[in-house]
Amino acid sequence: MNEKNRGIILLELALHRYDEEVERNKATDNKNKSMVAFLAVMLTIQSTILIRLI
């Protein structure tokens, strides 16, 4: 019975660690998407200003 409990605890620990990793990856993906959107806006503004100057 003790081995079974240890196995269950290890499984729960592994699943908890996996869930944390998934959440961390989602946060990183959201930050990356925000950065891409920000860069797209900045490039659009820069190209608009450049065209008006020429």
For 1-51, the pLDDT digits (tens) are 688 899 999 999 999 999 999 999 999 999 999 999 999 999 999 999 988
- pLDDT of 54 strictly over 70: yes
Task: Measure the CA–CA gap between 12 and 24, rounded to whole angstroms.
Answer: 18
Output the pLDDT for position 1: 62
- Between CA 12 and CA 16, with CA 15 as vertex, the angle to 5 degrees is 85
| Amino acid at the residue 14 | A
* pTM of the complete model: 0.66
